Amino acid sequence: MPAEETAVVDLSAWVCPLPLRDSPNIVMGHGGGGAMSAELIEHLFLPSFGSAADAELGDSAVFDVGGVRLAFSTDSYVVKPMVFPGGTIGDLAVNGTVNDLAMAGAQPLVMSTAFILEEGTALTDIAGIAKALGEAAHVAGVRLVTGDTKVVDAGHGDGVFINTAGIGIVADGVNINPTRAQVGDVVIVSGDIGVHGVAVMSCREGLEFGTEVRSDCAALNGVVADMIATGVDIHVLRDPTRGGVAATLNEIAQASNIGVALVERDLPIPADVRDACGLLGLDPLYVANEGKLIAFVPRDDADRILEAMRGNSLSAGAAVIGECVAEHRGMVVARTALGGNRVVDLPAGEQLPRIC
């Protein structure tokens, strides 16, 4: 690379309050989907990519090809363990990419799959993961059309890592984007939150909570299709994965320059998730989900959207949890059960690493 094109990475511009900001090396927090991830992209990757970068930094890119609107997304999966209550890394890899496409209003069509396998991993384990992946693709209605396989030395992987990429079609008139949230919109979540992260953590650490917490891992393209079919102008859709509901709402508030006001008592948090988070010192708002979505829609259309969502088993517990306000723009504030307010910050890293 010519000297004049060499990317300059200014570590002094990074503002995350953690002392990890002084580290010259990658740390786990950089993969958590919070402030550290955002700063890694903004201050390292984008300057390094230079003029080749052309992205709005969303989970999916939407663009026109020959008059057809396409959505494109890619994601990698490193969840530990590979099999957890309610799912595996295989169906997670399909559902995660399907959901990223669906959050742009796209109907997913095709996907690629790439496996990075660790030497010594049992073929029966890999076969089980591959079968789960294929079954998830069948349920979601997507075709697996290309892929790749690599093997790394024993001790240099963790069984199986998977990368998937997907392409879908966005219908004319659908304009769903994180920048479109408006003052007066209501915020809807499709069901119980925090389930996936707690399910993975309980399995990883051998914890028992009296009842088994199972991941909510699921493809949501059918739910989104039901919502779009109402004709409502849906402003924003996002699936609150890494960083949970808190990270997702903060990103939308900043992208749209609006404030988000939550009501804590309206948050659908199952008792077992609340108890587990209390035991582990976690906040359910920051715990990952893999089968839930958040929607921002005009207040007058909320009932129509809720009716459509509640008619689908994957979103039967849909509920309004807050609204967009003109105050505290770019911030998320929650009204507590005691009547006070607390700021729900963008997480720096991640409470539970490697949950997707």
Q: What is the DSSP string of 55-102?
A: --SSSSEEEEETTEEEEEEEEEE--SSSEETTEEHHHHHHHHHHHHHH
What are 61's strand-pairing partners? 72
Provide the pairing of β-strand 68-77 with 160-170: antiparallel
Q: Each residue of 266-292: b (16+ CB within 10 Å) or e?
A: ebbbbebbebbbeebebebbbbbbbbb
Determine contact, residues 36/18, Cβ cutoff 8 Å.
yes
Distance CA 153, CA 342 (A): 48
In this structure, the number of other CB atoms found within 10 A of the CB of residue 63 comes to 11
Q: Which of 319, 326, 332 is nearest to 286 (CA)?
A: 332
Q: Which of 68, 72, 14 is nearest to 38 (CA)?
A: 14
| Token couple for 292 | 């839930």
Helix axes 221-228, 89-102, angle to 10 degrees: 20
| Token couple for 182 | 């408006």
Distance CA 157, CA 100 (A): 26
How confident is the model at residue 202, as a pLDDT? 84
How confident is the model at residue 35, as a pLDDT? 73
pLDDT in tens, the chain (356 residues): 444 444 555 544 444 334 445 567 878 777 766 677 777 877 788 888 888 787 666 778 999 999 999 999 999 999 999 999 999 999 999 999 999 999 999 999 999 999 999 999 999 999 999 999 999 999 999 999 999 999 999 998 889 999 999 999 999 999 999 999 999 999 999 999 999 999 998 887 666 666 688 999 999 999 999 999 999 999 999 999 989 999 999 999 999 999 999 999 999 999 999 998 988 888 999 999 999 999 999 999 999 999 999 999 999 999 999 999 999 999 999 999 888 999 999 877 666 778 88
Phi–psi pair at 241, nearest 5 degrees = -90, -110
Q: Is 212 helix (H, G, I), strand (E, B) or coil?
A: coil
| Token couple for 267 | 């948050």
Phi–psi pair at 292, nearest 5 degrees = -130, 155
How confident is the model at residue 153, as a pLDDT? 95
How confident is the model at residue 13, as a pLDDT? 47
- Please give the full DSSP string across 175-188, using - where no structure is assigned: ---GGG--TTEEEE
Q: How far is CA 28 from CA 18, 31, 89, 236, 328, in A?
A: 13, 6, 19, 29, 30
Q: Reading across the β-sheet that carries 68-77, which strands appear in turn?
A: 61-65, 68-77, 160-170, 106-118, 143-152
Phi–psi pair at 156, nearest 5 degrees = -115, 15
Within 154-214, strands assigned E span 160-170, 185-189
Determine contact, residues 143/94, Cβ cutoff 8 Å.
no
Distance CA 328, CA 330 (A): 6
| Token couple for 48 | 């390094």
